Structure 1
Amino acid sequence: MSEEIKIAELFAGVGGFRLGLDGYTDPNGSGMSLPAAGPYKTVWANQWEPPGSNARQFAARCYETRFGEGSVVNEDIHKVLDEVDAGERDVPSVDMVVGGFPCQDYSVARPLSQAGGIEGKKGVLWWDIYRFLQIQISKSSENARYCLFENVDRLLKSPASQRGRDFSIILSCLSSLGYSVEWQVINSGEYGFPQRRKRVYIFAERNASWNQRVRLFDGVIARAFPIAKTEEIGTVSIPADPYDATLHFNEERSKRSPFRNRGVMADGKVLTCDVEEVYDGRLGCLGDVIVPASEVPESFYVPDEQLPKWEYLKGSKREERVNKKTGFTYFYSEGSMAYPDLLENPSRTILTGEGGSGPSRFKHIIKTEDGRMRRLVPDELDQLQGFPKGWTNVGMTDGHRAFCMGNALVVGIPHRIGCELAKDLD
């Protein structure tokens, strides 16, 4: 492999993986910067927001604004790969593939040996990653040696009817291509970042010779985000064909997934256990990213007449409700949450619905120094995810800026993982 690690970023959003690995200098001239995590260079990226109208491509336009014209392919990845297979276009050879792929149904309808590779799938987007890896490996056995993926932590235990099936399908796919895999659920707020955001990160390496028991606590993710074991190590066998996983994985329908929040797979065999964070540094907090009052538009302050609705939505409740379709009466209950959000703690997870002025249980609301209540502005959301202040301020609406951050990752997490991988490369 060359000294430079060429990267393809799939489902790129506004470039979180690229910033974390390639590093950045703040385009707004603040002097803030993040050094490159290693010899990484993103050479190809894809971002497409269905249903595909031009108005929905605000993330791709942000990506191109920040990284330059032609830096992202703003087309449906499935169509792109169809054209590659047909010889109508090419994708560059890369050493590493990264991406935060969306959740979906990962099951397959028939054995891959009878399905021409990946036909018969029910889900789409994971299978496009699998297909992209196949294309890379077919060009050269040295391609796509490394992968780094991000997803919600419920991936490890979905679907509810067959706990762990979806993740076993992903592991089966990666194993079939010669990858060894480690994963870890990381809550960014427990490692010094200003937002609590729990996600599973998956690192894979082709043709690796891993000692699984050593790797379980000394892999690149575990070194970047130290852990301590909290229960005995379990073992899991991964089916060789994703179709077998679809039909038979956890077929006894255990209510608990066999995959814990830390694990390693090699040769289709998994070691996994629950772990807890080991961190003694400063904890970040919401107050770290709050902008001066002079930078807050009046529209972000909550009118006094709306405050009772905000307080109600944030509070605990147990109410009798009636299903409008069936007429069935039931009791709905939920616990209380901080109101207003505490500036001295890490923030709650940013969701895609953070934008808009209407009251919401899940949007953030803070109390200002003059006693007024307001929502978070987009510059604060950018910084809660570790992007430079104003990263998404490229002409899109405030609502679209919030949506982009709800879909993004904490930039510092792939950065730390990339730093540890770079040590191995040295």
Structure 2
Amino acid sequence: MKKTVCELFAGVGGFRCGLNNIKTAEDYDKKEKWDTVWFNQWEPAEKTTQYAHDCYVYRFGTRVDIDGEDTTNYNIEDVNKAKIPDFNLLVGGFPCQDYSVASSLATSKGLEGKKGVLWWSIRETLEVKKPPFVLLENVDRLLKSPAKQRGKDFGVMLSCFRDEGYTVEWRVINAAEYGYQQRRRRIFIFAYKNDTKYAERILKRIRYTNELEENKKIECMENVVLKEGFFAETFAVNKADKAKMKTKVLPAEVGEVSETFQCIFENSGIMKDGIIYTIKTLPNYNGEQITLGDVMESGEVEEEYFIPEEKLYYTNPSVTHSDETEQRLPKEDRQTWQYLKGAKKLLRTSATGHEYVFSEGAISMIDQEDKPARTMLTSEGGFSRTTHIVKDKMTGRVRLLTATEAERIQGFPTNHTKYCLVKGKTVEMPLRKRRFMMGNALVVNLVADMEKTLDNIFAEE
């Protein structure tokens, strides 16, 4: 089977880098094993610039549709999916939203999302292009959203896959638990058409129609999740202590899923023919561990990254707690990293006028170099509790992460986001945007691992 790819919600090309093992600047010029025939990246919040798309184009060039038009920077909702060139693997890191649908619809055809419209663009692509394989990434809270109807959003997605003839495996993966440089937990979803050779091979033992054999079917599905499936083959796991495979049947209509369905999805599972099988697993990894220190700069770092002494501490550096229930600290004290990252108690007033004590715990002021980095967010580099602060290796001074360090934490080549191609001209991406792109990205190393499994799957199709 040809290794052709469509990358939706492409960002700066994390899936593409992972699939093609792009690790250094020299790798951009090598022939790509996986041919990205079309991609799409559109940031609706950006009115005058499209830095992610323009960075992608700088690195990889653009792609046109079957009419020869470049629609890669269009709102995906406005793209005619029939115009996308044919492909065999759909990939994308799509946003997590509310996947409510009109409950009165008799079938999944013509669904209208109240929110979460981006999922419907994926579903429409599945319906029109019918790719045999799909690999998606999202935040792990997708399994539990929304709070008032736990599991509904993921259930809607699974029912859409079911209606289009797919089996779906999923796994929540923390990159650091498989040796990589960031403690980043995300859900990955692998779907495959029921008529593929892969589906036949993986599910060959699932031939039971008699209700008396239900336990045997569960045993076979557990074997897929724990040993033989896509994620089990790529990232070894053990069954959690005392964990048991749980099952649940999806309602026949997607509208009913949206209206009434709830499910406690565990971190691993599979959906086949509308039946959900889910079980809690634990990572089984004993290899090397990449740490924050391994990806930090060892040479000279530009002065703009260093934090002035007066912005670090407002009192003795050993102080990690502040109590402001009696009186607030001066504004200049509260605008220090020591205060921001420290534990605190302060009085607040609710919308109804009720006074209460807000409290939060302390987090480490300086990030530990001998451990994987904490999860990087889009606010990286801003005055935020989640921003990484490190001790410079050359000078010992305290500073923020450089743009290149942020790239390495996500597994991108150094300076991947430095340049963009804007209206035919090469321009530098602003520092705050480079950090934002990395906070929005996935850990490329994980996709590189999955590529090895995908390569074998495609070779047999």
TM-score relative to the length of structure 1: 0.88
CA distance in 1, matches of 2:14, 2:173: 16
Three-state SS of the structure 1 residue aligned to 2:11 is coil
Equivalent position of 2:280 in the other structure: 274
Equivalent position of 1:190 in the other structure: 177
Q: CA RMSD in A?
A: 2.1
Q: Give a deviation string over 1:171-200, Cα, whole Å, max 9, x none.
A: 000010000010000000111111110000
Retained in 2: the 8 A contact 1:382–1:388?
yes
5 Å-filtered alignment, 1:159-308, equals 159-207=146-194, 208-209=199-200, 210=203, 211=206, 212-217=221-226, 218-230=228-240, 231-250=243-262, 257-294=263-300, 296-308=301-313
Measured at CA, do residues 265 and 334 of structure 1 come closer, stay the same or move farther in structure 2, by a change above 3 Å? same
Retained in 1: the 8 A contact 2:133–2:191?
yes
Give the drift of 1:392.
Answer: 0.3
Retained in 2: the 8 A contact 1:110–1:120?
no
Measured at CA, do residues 273 and 424 of structure 1 come closer, stay the same or move farther in structure 2, by a change above 3 Å? same
Which residue identity does 1:229 align to in structure 2? K
Measured at CA, do residues 25 and 259 of structure 1 come closer, stay the same or move farther in structure 2, by a change above 3 Å? closer
Is 1:388 aligned with 2:380? no
Match of 2:112 among 105, 108, 119: 119
Give the drift of 1:278.
Answer: 0.5
Three-state SS of the structure 2 residue aligned to 1:333 is strand
Give the drift of 1:35.
Answer: 10
Equivalent position of 2:316 in the other structure: none
Is 1:26 aligned with 2:1? no
Three-state SS of the structure 2 residue aligned to 1:354 is coil
CA distance in 1, matches of 2:14, 2:105: 33
CA distance in 1, matches of 2:132, 2:104: 26
Retained in 1: the 8 A contact 2:143–2:265?
yes
Give the drift of 1:96.
Answer: 0.9
- My pick for the range that moved more, 412-421 or 277-286, is 412-421
Give the drift of 1:284.
Answer: 1.2
Retained in 2: the 8 A contact 1:24–1:35?
no
Measured at CA, do residues 424 and 297 of structure 1 come closer, stay the same or move farther in structure 2, by a change above 3 Å? same
Equivalent position of 1:403 in the other structure: 436
Give the drift of 1:368.
Answer: 2.2
Three-state SS of the structure 1 residue aligned to 2:379 is helix
Three-state SS of the structure 2 residue aligned to 1:161 is coil
Measured at CA, do residues 145 and 399 of structure 1 come closer, stay the same or move farther in structure 2, by a change above 3 Å? same
Three-state SS of the structure 2 residue aligned to 1:332 is strand
Retained in 2: the 8 A contact 1:155–1:167?
yes
Which residue identity does 2:140 align to in structure 1? D
Equivalent position of 1:15 in the other structure: 13
Three-state SS of the structure 2 residue aligned to 1:54 is coil
Equivalent position of 2:78 in the other structure: 79
Three-state SS of the structure 1 residue aligned to 2:79 is helix
Measured at CA, do residues 69 and 109 of structure 1 come closer, stay the same or move farther in structure 2, by a change above 3 Å? closer
Structure of larger gyration radius: 2
- My pick for the range that moved more, 299-308 or 8-17, is 299-308
CA distance in 1, matches of 2:107, 2:189: 28
Which residue identity does 2:436 align to in structure 1? F
Which residue identity does 1:197 align to in structure 2? R
Equivalent position of 1:254 in the other structure: none
Give the drift of 1:114.
Answer: 6.6
Retained in 2: the 8 A contact 1:24–1:33?
no
Give the drift of 1:111.
Answer: 4.0
Measured at CA, do residues 32 and 77 of structure 1 come closer, stay the same or move farther in structure 2, by a change above 3 Å? closer
CA distance in 2, matches of 1:171, 1:118: 14
Which residue identity does 1:304 align to in structure 2? E
Measured at CA, do residues 106 and 146 of structure 1 come closer, stay the same or move farther in structure 2, by a change above 3 Å? same
Retained in 2: the 8 A contact 1:238–1:270?
yes
Retained in 2: the 8 A contact 1:355–1:398?
no
TM-score relative to the length of structure 2: 0.82
Match of 1:105 among 98, 112, 118: 98
Equivalent position of 2:55 in the other structure: 62
Unaligned runs of 5+ in 2: 65-70, 207-220, 314-335, 420-427
Retained in 2: the 8 A contact 1:151–1:201?
yes
Identity rate of aligned residues, in percent?
43
Equivalent position of 1:140 in the other structure: none
CA distance in 2, matches of 1:169, 1:336: 38
Which residue identity does 1:175 align to in structure 2? R
Unaligned runs of 5+ in 1: 138-143, 251-256
- My pick for the range that moved more, 325-334 or 194-203, is 325-334
